[in-house]
Structures are given as C-alpha cells and as structure tokens.
Amino acid sequence: MAKQAKGFPCLWSTCPRDTTFNQKSKLERHMQTHTGYKPVKCEVCHAALSAKQSLAQHMRIHTGEKPWKCNFPDCTQSFKQQSALTMHKRTHTGEKPLSCEICGKKFGESSNLSKHRKTHNVKDAKTYEGPRKQGQGYATWKR
C-alpha cells in the first residue's frame, strides 16, 4: 500500500503540477491561479493582483525601478524581476537547465522550450508535462 503524502495537494482536475504544499496558505495562493481570484488592486492603474507581494513587483512598472543587477564583468543590465535576471545570466554562462520531455533538447528559457514543444505536434504544448500523472501523457499527442 502506498504512503499517503503529507501536506496539502492541489486537487484541481486540470492542474499540471504534481506538488503537495506544506502549508494550507500556499495551497490557497496556488488555487488562485485556477479560480482567477485577485483581491489586491493597484491604486495607480487599478490592475487586479493575487497578493501583496505581486503588488510590490507590479509597482516597478510605474516607478521604473530595476533592483536586480547583473554582476558579470562589463554587463550593465538590470531587471525589475529576479527571474528575468536569472534568465539573463544564462546568456553569459550558457546554462540550459530546461529540457524537452520528448527529445531531450535543452533550453535556457521556458518560452523557447514551449515553442520547441510545438514542433512535436503535441495537442497542448503549453501544458504538456509528459506522463507524470495517471491519465496524462501520450494520449495528448495529436493522432
């Protein structure tokens, strides 16, 4: 008999994540991605956001602040988001941590991986996660 996972799993039927959250609040925040619930509003442009942390990041659009600076020699790039800096650094290092589940080709940016997946004629290349969950996988291939 398999052990039951501890924590709070997402039970949304179409969720591609295979994650159990260690806190109920983290699951609740994740559920907002499914429900579209956005309780926080920007006072400048009235954009709806999912959390206060998102508002702090969003405000950089209005202020122009770019606190994430590249530390590679002779590079003066800076970014509004840490994730953008992480992707940018890969242009210096050549790191390609993302790989196609079908053919193994490596990529540095998720958008390039998504574009590549479409070359395999997968029905929904954006959400294809391979045969991780029961009922998912090769049935998503076009026939």
The tens place of each residue's pLDDT in the chain, 143 residues long, gives 344 457 899 888 888 877 789 999 989 988 998 998 999 999 999 999 988 888 999 999 999 999 999 999 999 999 999 999 999 999 999 999 999 999 999 999 989 998 998 898 766 544 444 444 433 333 333 33
Residue pair 139/128 in contact (Cβ under 8 Å)? The answer is no
Dihedral sign of CA atoms 1, 135, 109, 21 in order: negative
pLDDT at position 137 is 36
Q: Kindly state whether residue 100 falls inside one of the protein's structural domains.
A: yes
pLDDT at position 60 is 93
pLDDT at position 122 is 64
Q: Kindly state whether residue 105 falls inside one of the protein's structural domains.
A: yes
Q: Kindly state whether residue 102 falls inside one of the protein's structural domains.
A: yes
CA distance 86 to 3: 36
CA distance 2 to 107: 35
Q: Kindly state whether residue 116 falls inside one of the protein's structural domains.
A: yes
CA distance 42 to 54: 10
pLDDT at position 51 is 87
Q: Kindly state whether residue 81 falls inside one of the protein's structural domains.
A: no
Q: Kindly state whether residue 101 falls inside one of the protein's structural domains.
A: yes
DSSP state at residue 122:
B
In which domain, by residue range, is 120 found? 96-125
Overall number of domains in the chain = 1
- Does the pTM exceed 0.75? no
Q: Kindly state whether residue 112 falls inside one of the protein's structural domains.
A: yes
Q: Kindly state whether residue 110 falls inside one of the protein's structural domains.
A: yes
